[in-house]
Amino acid sequence: MTESFVALPGSARTPPPSWTELPAWADEERIEISIRVPRRPGVELPSVEALGALPPGERRHLSREELTARYGADPAALAAVERHARERGITVVDACPSKRRVLLAGTLGELRKAFPADVRRVEHPSGHAYRQRCGDQHVPAALAGCVEGLFGFSSQPRARPYVTLPAEGDAGAPNDGSHLPGDLARLYDFPPDLDGRGECIGILEFGGGYRDSDLQAYFAKLGLPCPEVVAVPVGGRTNAPGVSRNLDVEVALDLQIAGAIAPGARLAAYFCEWTEKGWIDALETAIHDRDNQPSILSISWGWAELEAAGHVSWTEAAIDAVNTSLQEAALLGITILCASGDDGSAAGIAGDQAHVDFPASSPYVLSCGGTTLRATSAAMDEVTWNEGARTPAGGGATGGGVSELNPLPTWQASAGVPTSLSTGRQGRGVPDIAGNADRASGYTILVDGQELRGVGGTSAVAPLYAGLLARINQRLGRPVGYLNPLLYEKLAPAVFRDVIVGGNGCAGAGGYQAGKGWDACTGWGSIVGSRLLLALLDEAPSSAESAEGPPSHVDRSCSPPDALPRSA
């Protein structure tokens, strides 16, 4: 009897028109695919907006065990997918109720026969070849109600790091504008005498790696204890320094900034592949990690919502899976911070249309934009970061705008979010907050024994504020969790330093302009850490501390840091 198959809703994908099709992949290639199954019958994940509007002391977060027991996988669907795979000789690597996932391994030919898909071999204009699943994904008709998403046939990238490197001649050279993370903690008035002890900051990494020797040398120079760093492999990917220097810079930036701000916190780096499957597997691993139990997750990577006009780069199923995982994180009390991108309003897409990146456009993350910081011993000023289009030689501008995929959240309804410059659509406004991202006022880090000064990008902003929240969680004695509704509806603008100058137009795309209050360049502005802590402790900031300027008690001295140790 011939088996019948049906198209999986939300799985449709069109190949990018600029890519070249190559001879087909061999059916003998071994891969893994991840199948997402529904929740238990009759249950839906609750809204988190009401939870996010409560003061931290009144929040009741679920434990990971409670989340699985109430909202985990439908046991019948999990068993049905396993049975279908085993009957066809496909290896069931894992069947996880908490992640609602069945992980399968087999040859490309075996998996395509069990779950029909048009998988092509395509070449990116850069010369790299990838598997590209085109059209609809199909599943057996008998499993139609048992599968929400299927990921893994495509190896096409869905992640780019949001880091900008110093100019070629600047690496290791004196840069009077470069900062160590502690400088930023002082300038942004992060609450002192806290180190994030007892917290875990999770960090997603889609490539690259770190060397323990770099971490030990960096923190020794700072006079800080080296934080505990745990590398968590996801889908076979591991800490792999030396494969790509640019990606190693990203990993170093994440770990060294977060660790310097919160040296008492554990840092869990989740290394994963840079595909849709990688995103979903990494988020599920981090969120349901019972060993490390991160209370904060920092993401310095993303990908444009729309790869070209009218072409959705992310599949609908992947967008839904990522958003759902982030919603689960909110229920668990995990705060997610995500860089908004380094390509201005263009989001790295050629043309004259404005775009935003995902998951920075998810309503369940704190989206982190970029500023240019100008500080002297007497004053501090910030404007919208915009060095122009990002190229291998440098440049970059803060991502920001209006989502074409995620609707306007209720907590953002009164913030004055404009309609999209491209479509006139009303959607989720990006970013929420901002911080130092310009190379001219950038960060000093250590990679492969070499000091790099003037590293920038919105990549730096997510771990910077992740460290702040680790300090705040430590002081509160509980996780802040999902912060967006509380920030917008009760705390803004009192806990922010408004950034009112500049715009993020870039690479020919029309941009947005900064202005008073929230805007689509820098959100509410940069966080004044002590004010945020006081507000979360339900204490009003002193009347002497105006919302327009820095608190008077903050040490504004910002002399250039001493040189870091170099390799022999």
Coil, helix or strand at residue 254: helix
Is 420 an annotated catalytic residue? no
Say if CB 368 and CB 361 are below 8 A apart: no
Q: Give me Rg for the CA atoms of the chain.
A: 23
Element (H, E) at 402: strand 401-402
Residue of 34, 155, 345, 459 with catalytic role: 459
Residue whose structure tokens are 């929420």: 432
d(Cα 401, Cα 519) in Å, to the nearest integer? 9
- 254 catalytic? Reply is yes
Beta strands in 440-529 (DSSP E): 443-447, 450-455, 496-497, 526-527
For residue 475 the two structure tokens come to: 């002081």
Q: Which one from 183, 250, 305, 387 is the annotated catalytic residue?
A: 250
CA angle 531, 533, 535 (to 5 degrees): 65
Contact predicate 102/94, CB 8 Å = yes
Q: Residue 200 pairs with which residues in a beta bridge?
A: 266
356 alpha carbon, distance to own chain's centre:
13
Element of type H or E holding 461: helix 461-476
Q: Which token pair is 178?
A: 């470069």
Nearest 5°: CA angle at 147, between 145 and 149? Answer: 140
Give the angle subtended at the CA of 255 by the CAs of 207 and 478, to the nearest 5°: 120
Task: Name residues whose C-beta falls within 8 Å of residue 562's C-beta, 6 or more positions apart in sequence.
Answer: 221
Phi, psi of 471 (to 5 degrees): -60, -45
How many helices (H) and strands (E) the chain has is answered by 12, 28
Long-range CB contacts (within 8 A, 24+) of 119-123 = 119/24, 119/25, 119/153, 119/154, 120/15, 120/21, 120/24, 121/21, 121/22, 121/23, 121/24, 121/25, 122/15, 122/16, 122/19, 122/20, 122/21, 122/22, 122/156, 123/19, 123/20, 123/21, 123/22
Catalytic residue among 254, 281, 519, 545, which? 254
- Pick from 296, 393, 313, 290: nearest CA to 361: 313
Closest CA to 129 of 121, 140, 117, 118: 121
555 Cβ contact list (under 8 Å, min separation 6): 186
Angle at 100 between CA 97 and CA 103, to 5 degrees: 95
Element (H, E) at 230: strand 229-233
Q: Mark 145-161 as b/e (b = at least 16 C-beta within 10 Å).
A: ebbbbbbbbbbbbbbbb
Q: Which residues are catalytic?
A: 250, 254, 459
